[in-house]
Amino acid sequence: MRSIWNGAISFGLVSIPIKLVNATESHAISFRQIHTEDNGRIRYRKVCELEEREVGQSEIGKAYEDADGTIIPITDEDLSHLPIPTARTIEIVAFVPADRIDPLQMGSAYYLAAGGAPAAKPYALLREAFRRSDKVAIAKFALRGRERLGMLRVVGEAIVMHGLLWPDEVRTPEGVAPDTDVTIRDKELDLADALMDTLGEVDLDDLHDEYREALEEVIAAKASGEAPPEAPAPAAGGQVLDLMAALENSVRAARESRGAPAAGGEAEVRPLPRGRTAPKETGGKKSTSTTKRTAAAKKPAPARKSTSKATPGTKKTTAAKSTTAKNTTAKSTTAKNTAAKSTARTGATGNPAKSTAAATKKTTTATTAKAKATPAKKTPSRKRSA
């Protein structure tokens, strides 16, 4: 890189030879002025008004025009003998914390390169002193015909100087801020904070000049005889009537652009309606009463099941009675047959009436006893069913 100034850094009694190199460059696309009728170049020629001829750069010098129009020539030799110590020296006057510097004062940046091998050690000493103190240096230097203010700091392994404006060159912001009284609510501040957190940080290396890229596309299209690309339709704009809605939409859009869920509930807290609150508070009681009713309804169930079970028992008892009656009838028939046989036998022997009566009595007594015994065994099952 070509140096634009040679001098030294004055650090107390230490002098460090350095070269001043531009630390920034412009990538802006420059245009030429042309005559629109024939595309001829429009040039500015440096013409001496006394001789009315064009002069070259080597014939051009500096001069100061007095109030009465007198021209006072000033040469480079005159400037080199200025009665100030900063003519060829960057003089460090103080070391201060970096936050003491107002960004409004910062201007062009320059790299300070060591001027030869003898400057290597004092250069490295100053660099390490910057790192240990965690401070920046305030310096004065002369460049391009005037004394300037600068700030020195470390970037990587190099020392950088930022040109600073003098404090009286920074204008006060009078009449810039709105003079009307406004009220900022806490909710609006919360949404603004949420928007700032959502946007987060950015890697400055990822940022680039999109305007210059679009301009290069237009130039390339014109050079190849093609139609220039059309500009995208501008976004529909309008007056923002609801600041809260604008903030909420901004937070939502920022989250979606970064692939995060919308999570609208985090940006706004809405109270629940009163009609829904009461049932939630008494919900436990309602479920308890329902449980009680269910339990009460379930208690009679065993009795009903017992009753249903007892019904077959009753049917069995009835069937048993029928069976007993049938048996009794059969036995009565048997007894009659027996009595008839006994009568026949007795008729042969004598006194048939007594024999028949005795047989009938015995048969009836046995049948009655068996009939009583059978219901007596089934009676307990009827009582249990009740």
Mean per-residue pLDDT, 320-349? 47
140: tokens are 């004065």
- Residue 30 pLDDT > 70: yes
Least confident window among 57-61, 82-86, 209-213:
82-86
Between 247 and 285, name the one with better pLDDT.
247
pLDDT in tens, 329-343: 545 555 455 544 444
Least confident window among 17-31, 32-46, 78-92, 272-286:
272-286
Share of the chain above pLDDT 70, in %: 64
Query: Taking the chain, what is the end-to-end CA distance rounded to the nearest angstrom?
Result: 117
Distances 153 to 5, 21, 22, 56, 295 between C-alpha atoms, Å? 19, 15, 15, 40, 84
Mean per-residue pLDDT, 48-71? 93
Q: Which of 16-25, 202-211, 248-257, 359-368 has the highest mean pLDDT?
A: 16-25
Q: What is the length of the chain?
A: 386
> pTM score, two decimals?
0.54
pLDDT in tens, 203-248: 888 888 888 888 898 899 989 988 888 877 766 655 555 777 877 8
32: tokens are 């030429």
* Phi, psi dihedrals of residue 271, rounded to the nearest 5°: -70, 150
- Residue 318 pLDDT > 90: no
- Residue 162 pLDDT > 60: yes
Query: Beta-carbon neighbour count of residue 127 at 10 Å?
Result: 19
What's the pLDDT band for 191 if we cut at 50, 70, 90? confident
SS3 category, 200: coil
Residues 6+ apart with CB under 8 A from 266: 194
Q: Which of 53-67, 85-99, 177-191 has the highest mean pLDDT?
A: 53-67
- Residue 281 pLDDT > 90: no
Q: What per-residue confidence (pLDDT) applies to 200? A: 76
Q: How far apart are CA 221 and CA 229, in angstroms?
A: 8
Between 139 and 245, name the one with better pLDDT.
139
By DSSP bridging, strand 89-96 and strand 136-143 are antiparallel
* Phi, psi dihedrals of residue 83, rounded to the nearest 5°: -80, 50
Q: What per-residue confidence (pLDDT) applies to 282? A: 43
Q: Which residue stretches of 34-167 are H helix?
A: 76-80, 120-133
SS3 category, 256: helix
Between 237 and 149, name the one with better pLDDT.
149
- Residue 124 pLDDT > 90: yes
Least confident window among 74-83, 112-121, 373-382:
373-382
Half-sphere exposure of 270 (CA within 13 A, CB side): 4
Q: What per-residue confidence (pLDDT) applies to 261? A: 59
SS3 category, 144: coil
Q: How far apart are CA 165 and CA 171, in angstroms?
A: 11
- Residue 134 pLDDT > 80: yes
Q: What per-residue confidence (pLDDT) applies to 238? A: 53
Q: What per-residue confidence (pLDDT) applies to 118? A: 87
Least confident window among 66-70, 195-199, 220-224:
195-199
